[in-house]
Structure 1
Amino acid sequence: MSTNKKILITGADGFIGSHLTEELIRQGYDVRAFIYYNSFNSWGWLDQSTSEIKQSLDVFAGDIRDPHGVKEAMKGCTHVLNLAALIAIPYSYHSPDTYVDTNIKGTLNVVQAARELGIEKVVHTSTSEVYGTAQFVPIDENHPLQGQSPYSATKIAADQMALSFYRSFDTPLSIIRPFNTYGPRQSARAVIPTIIGQLAVGNTTIKLGAISPTRDFNYVKDTVNGFISVMNSEKSIGEVINIGSNYEVSIGETAEMIADIMNVDLTIETDEQRLRPDKSEVERLWAANQKAKDLLGWVPSYGGKDGFRRGLEETIEWFTNPQNLASYKTDVYNI
């Protein structure tokens, strides 16, 4: 496919960002990967990409908190997909300041530069955490926003910052709001890799936080396709769009399903340090995804119970590969 789009992906070194970067290159797009500068010259998960993908990459090492670097990275680009963010909820309890700088100021840097450079389209990444515990289900885009953690509060602010530029300056912008994405490369601080990782090293008793909350898990391939659909849609400008599977499942049921696929008899122990403060725990998430279907024609390929099981099987296959598992410290709780 030939395209005149030049796409900057911030957070390209992360879990979703690396999958998105690779898929866009496979589809023939010209991609610049904005990665977090570090002295190891690590490209994060992109270090594991094939040599063909690496050769096609234009890598920019910088920091989303630095307005000059962000603008420099965006020069010559037509589209910006902003995935750079701090996302670990427990870490936001003791270092909220870094979340304000990265999530809110980082977003401001992107939309400010987009306005000044005349970028054709910005896709800003939100999260289902902005909804807090469901007040009604399934959760559509009109559901109230509730900052139940410092992380969630900064993402609400980032979304509003982005939308304010659309409303104030007509900056062509869309907000994609993925529900809980899972799949290969996800951080071990997330629940599905935590379960798989503990079982993969031979534990049958695993440590988890609360197991009654429900989530709407979204396989990473579906999330990536959601990003590409939003980027390419004229109808998405000025809109907030949920990307979710429309299937609700509890953490406990998820653990049982993973144990079943891995053929393990499972015992779950509650680990106090993994519990969120009561009023901060999001008890229920279940996505309405009709808007994505209507506006973008996006439908999850891994929806429903069968789709979830298929996504888990692919995720388990990746995590149980010894080479991949070696990247994780399965015996250490990662906030």
Structure 2
Amino acid sequence: MQLKNKKVLVTGACGFIGSHLVERLVKEDAQVKAFIYYNSFNSWGWLDTFPKEKLEKIEIFTGDIRDPNGVRDAVNGADVVFHLAALIGIPFSYHSPDTYIDTNIKGTLNILQACRHSNVKKILVTSTSEVYGTAKYIPIDEQHPRQGQSPYSATKIGADHIAESFYRSFDLPVVIVRPFNTYGPRQSARAVIPTIITQLLSGQKEIKLGALHPTRDLVFVKDTVEGFIEIARSDKTLGEEINIATQSEISIQHLAQKLIDLIDPEAKIITDNKRLRPEKSEVERLLGCNAKIKKLTNWRPKYTLDDGLRITIEWFKNKKNLRLYKPDIYNV
């Protein structure tokens, strides 16, 4: 499927990956409708940072993914839907699991129901590598068992299975897209890389982190977005679950040290107990298999970890960007 001139809806468009995806779709000459979470400040999230000429190419729709009426209006007329809207912070899911069920499960159901009653040609539902939990084998392929090790991951497992059921029950043209740990400019402070970078750039000499031994498969955001684009283009992806992964891993400790070496070699890592997750909830190892996406699409990762980190650091060094973060506060 070519995306040029297609009517495309992106939910979660104001967020980290969503805003990068919107930019990429504009370059693709798609007719983009950006679903923005309604708020009284009329904030469009990261889209507010876009230049005027770029915003003029985007239709803004404000609503709430939990509201089936607004979702139905947003989906109406769309050829392709990229569903990224979700609550994603794991620590906050310990505190407020109900909101995760309402947003991640019911919100996905609302999208699927609306698409079922519209002439949508393809729906890409965004999953997460967290659905796999700690690796039982590596690299983690799409057949790996699901493990709900946090309320967040449990709701994403539920959303994935509902999406699968709509494909099997109603022949809805669904694809489940499963990015591993995406990072890059605009990522929220609840993620580990912005947490480390912002502490370093604010001059802190003691970098507070939680568990240091877990490993992650880190994907630069532009590679993740290109994965979405290639999965949407391919005519072989309907009904599939597809990882976006580099098939490499790094521990949090080695990642932190790499960033320290790049920004302030005098800084030291310390463990902050309040950042530690419950023992049975911590995902110890994530190393994704990317064989399937390579087989079904033309996607290949283009950015090395070192390249991606340097680009990310430079973005955070811009004072206009750095001032949006609160490095002295633990963001759950």
TM range (shorter): over 0.9
| Corresponding letter in the other structure for 1:33 | A
Query: In 1, are the aligned partners of 2:139 and 2:247 still within 8 Å (CA)?
Result: yes
Give the match for residue 317 of structure 1: 314
Unpaired segments ≥5 residues, structure 2: none
State the superposition RMSD in angstroms.
1.0
Query: In 1, are the aligned partners of 2:316 and 2:322 still within 8 Å (CA)?
Result: yes
SS at match of 1:156: helix
Distance 2:3 2:287 in 1: 37
- Structure 1 window deviating more from structure 2 (119-128 vs 265-274): it is 265-274
Query: In 2, are the aligned partners of 1:256 and 1:266 still within 8 Å (CA)?
Result: no
Distance 1:203 1:271 in 2: 14
Correspondences of 1:177-196 after superposition (within 5 Å): 177-196=178-197
- 1:14 CA drift (Å): 0.3
Distance 1:3 1:9 in 2: 15
Correspondences of 1:151-300 after superposition (within 5 Å): 151-300=152-301
Distance 2:112 2:6 in 1: 18
SS at match of 2:114: helix
SS at match of 1:234: coil
- 1:50 CA drift (Å): 1.6
Aligned length: 331
- 1:117 CA drift (Å): 0.7
Give the match for residue 147 of structure 1: 148
- 1:110 CA drift (Å): 0.4
Give the match for residue 66 of structure 1: 67
Query: In 2, are the aligned partners of 1:204 and 1:264 still within 8 Å (CA)?
Result: no
- 1:283 CA drift (Å): 0.2
- 1:2 CA drift (Å): 8.0
Query: In 1, are the aligned partners of 2:35 and 2:61 still within 8 Å (CA)?
Result: yes
Deviations 1:234-275 (A, max 9, x none): 101000000011111000000011111214223111111110
| Corresponding letter in the other structure for 1:78 | D
SS at match of 1:284: coil
Deviations 1:135-184 (A, max 9, x none): 00010000000000000000000000011000000000101000000000
Give the match for residue 8 of structure 1: 9
Distance 1:261 1:23 in 2: 29
TM-score, structure 2 normalization: 0.98
Give the match for residue 333 of structure 1: 330
Distance 2:65 2:169 in 1: 23
- 1:4 CA drift (Å): 3.5
| Corresponding letter in the other structure for 1:96 | P
Distance 1:163 1:52 in 2: 38
Query: In 2, are the aligned partners of 1:74 and 1:113 still within 8 Å (CA)?
Result: yes
SS at match of 1:60: strand
SS at match of 1:237: coil
SS at match of 2:311: helix
Sequence identity (%): 60
Give the match for residue 23 of structure 2: 22
Distance 1:222 1:25 in 2: 17
SS at match of 2:280: helix
| Corresponding letter in the other structure for 1:32 | K
Distance 2:121 2:280 in 1: 40
